[in-house]
Amino acid sequence: MSSPQKRSLRKMLVKRSINVVVTIFGIMTLNFALIHLMPGDPILNMVPRDPKLDPAVKESLIDKFNLDAGLLERYVTYMWKTITLDWGTSYSTMRPVWDVISYDMRWTILLIGTATFFTLIIGMAIGAMAAYRRGGAFDLVSTGTGLFFYGMPIFWFAMLLQEAFNSQLFGMNWWPQLPGGSYYDIVEYGPVFEWKLGLVLSVLEHLILPSLTLAIASFAGVALVMRGSLVDVMTDDYILTAKAKGLTDYQILRRHALPNGMPPMVALIAMSVAFIIGGAYQIEYVFNYPGIGYRTINAIWDLDFPILQFVVVVGGVAVVIANLLADIVLIYIDPRINLV
Amino acid sequence: MTQPDNGQNKRASEIRSEVRREKLRLLISRSKRVTRDVLKNPMGLIGTAILIFFMFIAVFGTYLAPYKVDATKPGLFDSYLPSSSEHWMGTDVFGHDIFSKLLYGARTSIVVGTFAAVIASVVGATVGLFSGYAGGWKDEVLMRINDVMLSIPWLVLMILIAGLIGTISLLIIILIIGLTGWSATARLVRAQVLSLRERQYIERAKAIGAGDLHIIKTHILPNSFPLVFANTILTVAISILSEATLSFLHMRPYGSVTWGTMLSYAYECSAFQLGLHYWIVMPGLCIVFLVLGFTLLGYALDEVLNPRLRKR
């Protein structure tokens, strides 16, 4: 790489990084605004509405977030506490919010990671096949199925799969039965996670149904974009040249079309992180999989606002980081990319 | 300069009305052509057929329903009656007829989806238009705000807002979905405006002294409209899904029958264990097909209105 290119690359990375910081700052501010500028008393929003609550706990919460101070002072306190991960106490569990969220986060990342892996494999394979045999039967069927899954409420699909694979109801014992809830066999291994072989296997077994549900529900987007970008590439002139050279269709797909069809895919993966997080929330609720989504939905019922507001921050930051990573990957796989 | 006399004035107004008539004629012939092209497209045809079916149910469903449903009151029947000739799909936990509820739900879904999508499109198009046309620091600020909106997972944001508001009505659901869902549209419109702004005819219009407002009104808006229109139809599909998801996660609009709400209660009452399969299967299928209808029509419109895609 020549030096002016390197310079503009560095310039772009600096610009992107500044954008990331600004966006995270914006997410935190929006979050503050939601809690403090919405109709209703912010103290009531931040402090449990439970009348039986110990007044001392309430005092300490008000004290901690400076809740009886002016708006600006509250904002400064909030920003500082957020950056230093001092997120207060969740009052449904009476544990520090950061501890609760960071523990749940591991399980959600495991679920989302596994699901994304399957989504990409299923989606890209089907998309590539459909583009390869464009207009054929496979293309029609896969695009149709893809659109069907795309329009499907994920929670509904989760309910159906849970019923199909985790029910003794219809005497379907011959059918493979999978655990339909929790993240491992708590009855056998106890509530504290340890690195034991049996326990890890139990985790994997419990992961199959939720992660596959999430993957099947979200592969359609990947397949449609993969197909679209490959079809775009396949109509380019150099593909014709490759054909004229006598390469087989498979060689063209593998060596020419796939590498050039990748950039839109990487951008899509980053963008679908937000979608997959939304899907994971529904899956966790239906399968009783105790990750962040499950925690959030319970927090709504308990009106546990300390948990709720920082879940927004965590989700937003995750998406921003995914996008930054995608940008960096894009620069590596596509040197033509606009560097400014 | 002399004042134009009466004859000239009359002539000018005649020309103006003729221009107006001609524009209307063009608009009608163009919409006819678009409709024909959409119906020629297999996706567009299937999508339109599905939507006509659901529109029919949305309008007449409450009259076709075998029993009246008032979601604010318990129903007239026993809970959990199995399916029979009186109750095709059985009755739910409140003693409402499930089939009747299904018919009632079509209207709510379409109303929520359409209004939320229109709000999202109007806000998104306005932001995108202003951002793309103004450029400079205004564009930068708006796009950073847009980044924030795009980054926060939509479901989490909607859940937080719904949780803060507490009691939820249908109007609030529409507002939440509409006001959190505009950022993708804004980005799309901005990109379109940026490319339009560089076209020569805009430069020519500027050279003969056209104001910004005039250029936006006569050149940019009409040229971005097809894009926004196709996008709105696709947004309706997403809004319907959002409503169902929010309802399912207990943010149910009070007093309204929605498919999401039905599924939410069906899940809590373990409808499968009770043998009431329709209670879970049917509302879900309705959502899938309604969303499918809007998605197919949206894609078809996009193909017809945005010729860049036509070669595919």
Please report the ipTM that was assigned to this predicted complex: 0.86
The Cα–Cα gap between B261 and B252 comes to 6
How would you classify residue A246: left for phi > 0, otherwise alpha for psi between -120 and 50, otherwise beta? left
A contacts of B154 (beta carbons < 8 Å): 274, 278
What are the two backbone dihedrals, phi and then psi, of residue B254, each rounded to the nearest 5 degrees? Answer: -70, 135
DSSP 8-class letter at B82: P
> Percentage of residues in chain A with pLDDT exceeding 90?
4
In chain B, what is the straight-line distance between the N-terminal and C-terminal CA atoms, in Å?
57
Non-local CB neighbours of B226 within 8 Å, separated by 6+ positions: B305, B306
Nearest CA distance, B299 vs chain A (angstrom): 11
Residue B13 in any domain: the answer is: no
The Cα–Cα gap between A314 and A310 comes to 6
C-alpha neighbours within 13 Å on the C-beta side of residue B293 = 17
Looking up residue A139, the CATH number of its domain turns out to be: 1.10.3720.10
In which residue ranges of chain A is pLDDT below 70? 1-5, 38-53, 57, 61, 64-67, 167-178, 180-183, 187, 334-340
Residue pLDDT, tens place only, B111-144 = 999 999 999 999 999 999 999 888 889 998 998 8
Residue B16 in any domain: the answer is: no
Rg of the Cα atoms in chain B: 24
Exposure string (b/e) for B88-120, b if CB count within 10 Å is 16 or more? ebbbbbeebbbbbbbbbbbbbbbbbbbbbbbbb
Domain count for chain B: 1
The Cα–Cα gap between A273 and A323 comes to 9
Nearest CA distance, A243 vs chain B (angstrom): 19
Domain that holds residue A211: 101-333
HEC per residue, A247-261:
CCHHHHHHHHHHHHH
Q: How far is CA A175 from the centre of its chain?
A: 31
What are the two backbone dihedrals, phi and then psi, of residue A269, each rounded to the nearest 5 degrees? Answer: -60, -45
Beta bridge partners of A95: A90
Subunit contact A281:B156, Cβ cutoff 8 A: yes
**Reduced to 3 states, what is the DSSP secondary structure of residue A62?**
helix
The Cα–Cα gap between B174 and B165 comes to 13
Q: How far is CA A123 from the centre of its chain?
A: 16
Residue B302 in any domain: the answer is: yes
pLDDT for B110 equals 93
C-alpha neighbours within 13 Å on the C-beta side of residue A149 = 22
Tens digit of each residue's pLDDT, chain B (312 residues): 455 556 667 788 888 899 889 989 988 998 898 889 888 888 899 999 999 999 999 999 888 888 888 777 777 777 777 777 777 787 887 778 888 889 998 999 999 999 999 999 999 999 999 998 888 899 989 988 888 888 887 788 888 787 777 778 889 899 989 998 898 899 889 988 888 888 888 888 888 888 888 888 888 888 888 889 989 999 999 999 999 998 998 888 888 889 999 999 988 888 777 778 888 899 999 999 999 999 999 988 888 887 654 443
The Cα–Cα gap between A41 and B3 comes to 64
The Cα–Cα gap between B56 and B52 comes to 6
How would you classify residue A132: left for phi > 0, otherwise alpha for psi between -120 and 50, otherwise beta? alpha
Which stretches within chain A are classed as H helix?
3-37, 42-46, 55-64, 71-83, 97-132, 137-150, 154-165, 186-189, 197-234, 237-245, 249-251, 258-287, 292-302, 305-333
A contacts of B296 (beta carbons < 8 Å): 147
Looking up residue B211, the CATH number of its domain turns out to be: 1.10.3720.10
Amino acid at B170: L
Asked whether B176 and B162 are in contact (CB, 8 A), the reply is yes
The Cα–Cα gap between A140 and A119 comes to 20
- Residue of chain B with shortest Cα separation from A295: B156
A contacts of B147 (beta carbons < 8 Å): 19, 22-23, 26, 320
Nearest CA distance, B6 vs chain A (angstrom): 58
Amino acid at B67: Y
Subunit contact B156:A40, Cβ cutoff 8 A: no
The Cα–Cα gap between B238 and B242 comes to 6
Asked whether A92 and A305 are in contact (CB, 8 A), the reply is no
Name the residue among B177, B180, B176, B162 with its Cα closest to residue B240.
Answer: B177
A contacts of B159 (beta carbons < 8 Å): 281, 296-297, 300, 308
Q: Does any CB of chain A come closer than 8 Å to the CB of residue B263?
A: yes
Nearest CA distance, B303 vs chain A (angstrom): 13
A contacts of B290 (beta carbons < 8 Å): 151
Most A CBs within 10 Å, among B152, B247, B249, to test the A interface: B152
Q: How far is CA B67 from the centre of its chain?
A: 30
Non-local CB neighbours of A291 within 8 Å, separated by 6+ positions: A104, A105, A107, A108, A111, A183, A280, A284
DSSP 8-class letter at A145: H
State the Cα angle at A328 between A323 and A331, rounded to 5°.
125
Asked whether B251 and B239 are in contact (CB, 8 A), the reply is no
Residue pLDDT, tens place only, A198-221 = 778 888 888 888 898 899 888 888
Residue B147 in any domain: the answer is: yes
The H or E element spanning position B262 is helix B259-268
Domain count for chain A: 1
Subunit contact A153:B145, Cβ cutoff 8 A: no
Maximum C-alpha span of chain A: 81
Asked whether A87 and A101 are in contact (CB, 8 A), the reply is yes
Residue A51 in any domain: the answer is: no
How would you classify residue B258: left for phi > 0, otherwise alpha for psi between -120 and 50, otherwise beta? beta
Asked whether B184 and B227 are in contact (CB, 8 A), the reply is no
Domain that holds residue B103: 68-309
